[in-house]
């Protein structure tokens, strides 16, 4: 059986922090891993904003509950789960992502945890450093053929270490930096590439 690792935000769902940015009028929260290569720098920026603006975890969770997966994401994921072992491998957090995991019928997700004290987000705890790449390496060590799809700088190691890595709706500046990776702009295109390479 082949294994498929999918990024969450940008592949199956919109960017959570951008929704929070719009709801709280916080321009700095519009930045994502498509903009900044250093994940810790990005998260420190986010932590600063939520604390300066007194944005609580429950505030963000209420915003996330209003979000919906991308059109076509649920059908694509159903097809993928029928043809692969599938894990979402994401740099999001269980405390934020769970309402959207529920809307996609609870796929397996490997991500991180926020540190929360009395509803205040005080930090975050990574599952492990370079988690996405290490998940792929672990699956390959179990003799799975691993496919992966993602859209951002933090997906590069995952995509490059998979047997087949595919950009999904990645911005042009990232695709230009990594021209060796295949690209798909729709879930149907992604499905076609996967079918051709199973």
Annotated catalytic sites, by residue?
Answer: 7, 9
Q: Does residue 107 sit in helix, strand or coil? A: coil
Q: Angle, to 10 degrees, between the axis of helix 94-103 and the axis of helix 57-65? A: 20
Phi, psi of 39 (to 5 degrees): -65, -40
Contact 2, 144 (CB under 8 A): yes
CA-based radius of gyration for the chain: 16
The answer to whether residues 87 and 108 touch, using CB atoms and an 8 Å cutoff, is: yes
What torsion, rounded to 10 degrees, do the Cα atoms 86, 41, 13, 129 define?
Answer: 10
Residues with Cβ within 8 Å of 149's Cβ and at least 6 positions away in sequence, in order, are: 4, 5, 6, 7, 11, 159, 165, 166, 167, 168, 184, 190
For 3, the token pair is 């294994």
Entry field: residues in the chain? 198
């Amino acid at each position: 059986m082949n294994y498929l690792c999918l990024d969450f935000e940008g592949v199956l769902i919109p960017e959570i922090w951008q929704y929070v940015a719009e709801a709280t009028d916080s321009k700095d929260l519009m930045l994502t891993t498509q903009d900044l290569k250093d994940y810790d720098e990005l998260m420190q920026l986010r932590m600063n904003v939520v604390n300066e603006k007194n944005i609580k975890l429950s505030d963000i969770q209420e915003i996330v509950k209003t979000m919906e997966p991308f059109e076509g994401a649920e059908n694509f994921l159903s097809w993928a789960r029928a043809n692969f072992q599938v894990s979402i491998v994401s740099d999001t957090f269980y405390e934020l992502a769970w309402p959207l995991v529920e809307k996609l019928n609870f796929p397996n997700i490997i991500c991180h945890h926020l540190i929360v004290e009395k509803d205040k987000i005080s930090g975050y705890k990574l599952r492990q450093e370079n988690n996405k790449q290490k998940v792929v390496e672990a699956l390959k060590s179990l003799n799975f053929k691993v496919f992966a799809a993602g859209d951002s700088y933090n997906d590069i190691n995952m995509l490059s270490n998979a047997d087949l890595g595919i950009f999904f709706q990645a911005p042009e500046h990232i695709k230009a930096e990594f021209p060796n990776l295949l690209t798909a702009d729709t879930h149907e295109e992604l499905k076609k590439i996967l079918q051709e390479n199973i």
